[in-house]
Amino acid sequence: MAKAFDVIVIGGGPAGYVAAIRCSQLGMTTAVVDDFVYKDGEPALGGTCLNVGCIPSKALLDSSEQYHKVNHELEAHGIKTGKVQLDVGAMIARKDRVVKDLTGGIAQLFKANKIEWLKGHGKLLSGKQVEVTPADGSGKAEVYQAEHVIIATGSKPIDIDAAPLDGERIVNSDGALEFTDVPKRLGIIGAGVIGLEMGSVWSRLGSKVTLLEAQDTFLPPVDQRVAKMAQKEFERQGLDIRFGARVTNAKVGKTVSVHYEDKDGKQNIQVDKLIVCVGRRPNTGNLFAEDVDLLLDERGLVNVDEHCRTNLPGVYAIGDVVRGPMLAHKGSEEGVMVAELIAGRPGHVNYDTIPWVIYTHPEIAWAGKTEQQLKAAGVPFNSGTFNFGATGRARAMEEKAGMVKIIAHKETDRILGVHIVGPQASELIAEAVVAMEFHASSEDLARIIHAHPTLSEAMHEAALSVSKRAIHKAN
Ligand code: FAD
Ligand code: AMP
């Protein structure tokens, strides 16, 4: 008879492993099937986020920021440095250690929570059975029985025919985390979140970076005033962002010859490396047997309702493999919600207050609606802004670029969106999320005492500015 669990989770990324831990906390016997194998050949938990996504990219963003600071920013503080040397190998090795420590930590948490880690590829069979095939091809497939199944198989980079990966010169985001030296000229297809983060890393380390973006608008999901301010900063830093540039062909020779078309016709650039960052698609390949009638939507995502229930009773799906933003914390919250629902408790995710962050310099972070969304929906609003350059703390830090923008409903004053471009935007956005979760008005934020001197004073002043009473600006 097949070994049985209360819950089997397919996929051990931030959606799946968090769901599993919460299921175990709630007293359910739980197993996680995961097929990820790290570059050292070892199976690893944590999925895209810990192995080739959020964590390694942030490790390299932080290292490259330190390098850039020493070379370009310390002098303003009266600190003179000697010759600064870069050891890309050591930088990548540090990133690998951070990843290994964290993925090892998840394995420890699994032990502590008595979660069984089934290493291999999971396939949903009829009757909530899950077949697990060892990832390395050794051994035969085993079948397990579940009371409930949670699909958390995540996503992978989209490839385009115009620029086929060769693993050396043309790579995707996985490969961009593994360069052994700094490419002189770096091309990036797609000026979205991942393209901008990767471009920032290698540009700070010395690459001449060109981003080719098919759309005419910079970061369409971002409030356009914030996006414009960010674009100016990135261009000042040397990122060459070309809009309306559709890549038609990339050929590897001594260099990579990238052909694209824009409003002026056919164009060509030569680069030493090319990163393809044109988005991600859900992992649903070989995920369910032919006789399993799991419904996918028109984009190939597993179709779910607001509680992440699929069309099959007892089968849920969470994270990047379902609708909504492809963000780690969104998947994790869905994981907690589903665990609670399976345990017969109330579970809920507020999709309206999910914070987004782009970890460039300055950082971009937002929650809630943008001005362009509200205009399109015909919602009346007031907005207030405040520049970091007018705060004492940002000036003391030599971090003058950026602003906070708060949008509130014209009649009720309820905060509808908060948009930040500037230093530590990723941390500051948490205040906005708390405020929005508690249905705060801009008046509530305006009346809260913020410590001086802090960057959070820009939030306070932006809230005051909604009703034209910011102190350190002419309203
Ligand atoms: P994943 O993390 O993709 O995990 C799914 C796991 O399931 C993987 O281990 C996969 O191998 C495994 N799997 C798939 N199919 C099967 C199967 N049939 N059987 C067994 N196992 C299977 N998000 C943020 O919130 N913040 C960031 O800063 C951020 N930075 C990013 C930077 C980069 C470069 C990239 C690529 C992504 C980044 N993301 C970030 C996105 C984030 O990584 C994803 O949103 C998140 O990992 C999704 O979690 P998940 O658990 O749904 O899926
Ligand atoms: P994101 O969705 O944030 O990962 O960003 C991916 C970006 O890649 C989007 O802004 C797309 O417009 C862009 N993109 C997709 N295909 C192409 C292409 N062939 N050439 C240039 N840019 C592209």
Give yes or no for residue 475 having a pLDDT over 90. Answer: no
Do 331 and 365 lie in one domain? The reply is: no
pLDDT of residue 199: 98
Are 57 and 49 in contact, with CB atoms under 8 Å apart?
no
Classify residue 163: in a domain, yes or no.
Answer: no
Give yes or no for residue 289 having a pLDDT over 90. Answer: yes
pLDDT of residue 412: 98
Q: Which residues pair with 363 in a beta bridge?
A: 422
pLDDT of residue 138: 76
> Alpha carbon of 298 to those of 70, 282, 295, 301: distances in Å?
49, 12, 10, 7
**Three-state SS for 253?**
coil
Q: Which ligand is nearest to the CA of 321?
A: 1
pLDDT band at 139 (very low <50, low <70, confident <90, very high): confident
Do 181 and 272 lie in one domain? The reply is: yes
Q: Which ligand is nearest to the CA of 329?
A: 1
- Ligand 1 binding pocket, CB closer than 6 Å: 10-16, 33-36, 47-49, 53-54, 57, 121-122, 152-155, 173, 194, 283, 287, 319-320, 326-329, 331, 359
Classify residue 194: in a domain, yes or no.
Answer: yes
Do 226 and 285 lie in one domain? The reply is: no
What share of the chain has pLDDT > 90, as a percent? 98
Which residue is it, tokens 């399976």? Answer: 342
Which residue is it, tokens 């597993």? Answer: 302
Residue 267 CB less than 6 A away from ligand 2: no
Do 207 and 99 lie in one domain? The reply is: no
Give yes or no for residue 170 having a pLDDT over 80. Answer: yes
Least confident range from 22-36, 132-146, 245-259, 342-356: namely: 132-146
Q: How much is the average pLDDT of 278-299?
A: 97
CATH of the domain at 377: 3.30.390.30
Query: Is 77 in the active site?
Result: no
**Which one of 313, 334, 349 terminates a domain?**
349
Give yes or no for residue 24 having a pLDDT over 80. Answer: yes
Give yes or no for residue 135 having a pLDDT over 90. Answer: no
Mutation test of ligand 2: which of 54, 188, 213 has the most ligand atoms closer than 8 Å to its C-beta? 213
Give yes or no for residue 294 having a pLDDT over 90. Answer: yes
Strand 142-151 relative to strand 315-317, pairing: parallel
Do 339 and 390 lie in one domain? The reply is: no
**Which one of 295, 314, 349 terminates a domain?**
349
Which residue, among 441, 465, 442, 440, has the nearest Cα to 390 in the 3D structure?
465
User: Which residue CA neighbors atom 15 of ligand 2 most closely?
Assistant: 278
Q: How much is the average pLDDT of 215-224?
A: 98
pLDDT in tens, 202-219: 999 999 999 999 999 999
Least confident range from 101-115, 137-151, 361-375: namely: 137-151
CATH of the domain at 238: 3.50.50.60
Give yes or no for residue 94 having a pLDDT over 80. Answer: yes
In ligand 2, which atom is closest to the CA atom of 215?
A: 12
Residue 215 CB less than 6 A away from ligand 2: yes
Residue 212 CB less than 6 A away from ligand 2: yes
- What is the domain count for the chain? 3
Give yes or no for residue 136 having a pLDDT over 80. Answer: no
pLDDT of residue 364: 98
Give yes or no for residue 1 having a pLDDT over 90. Answer: no
Instruction: Give the tokens for residue 189.
Output: 């297809």
Q: Which ligand is nearest to the CA of 214?
A: 2
Are 371 and 387 in contact, with CB atoms under 8 Å apart?
no
Whole-structure pTM value: 0.97
**Which one of 234, 250, 276 terminates a domain?**
276
Are 204 and 64 in contact, with CB atoms under 8 Å apart?
yes
Give yes or no for residue 34 having a pLDDT over 80. Answer: yes
Do 373 and 311 lie in one domain? The reply is: no
Give yes or no for residue 91 having a pLDDT over 90. Answer: yes
Do 285 and 153 lie in one domain? The reply is: yes
pLDDT of residue 2: 86
CA of 58 to the centre of ligand 2 (A): 21
Give yes or no for residue 253 having a pLDDT over 80. Answer: yes
**Catalytic annotation, pick one of 259, 452, 460, 472:** 452
Count of residues in the chain: 475
Classify residue 472: in a domain, yes or no.
Answer: no
Distance CA 76, CA 82 (A): 15
Q: In which domain, by residue range, is 367 found?
A: 353-466
Do 434 and 295 lie in one domain? The reply is: no
Classify residue 471: in a domain, yes or no.
Answer: no
pLDDT band at 373 (very low <50, low <70, confident <90, very high): very high
CA of 153 to the centre of ligand 2 (A): 23
Beta-carbon contacts of residue 248 (< 8 Å; ≥ 6 apart): 162, 259, 260, 261
Instruction: Give the mean pLDDT of the chain.
Output: 97
Do 314 and 189 lie in one domain? The reply is: no
Do 129 and 54 lie in one domain? The reply is: yes
Residue 355 CB less than 6 A away from ligand 2: no
pLDDT band at 86 (very low <50, low <70, confident <90, very high): very high
Instruction: Give the tokens for residue 293.
Output: 């009638």
Do 371 and 254 lie in one domain? The reply is: no
User: Which residue CA neighbors atom 46 of ligand 1 most closely?
Assistant: 328
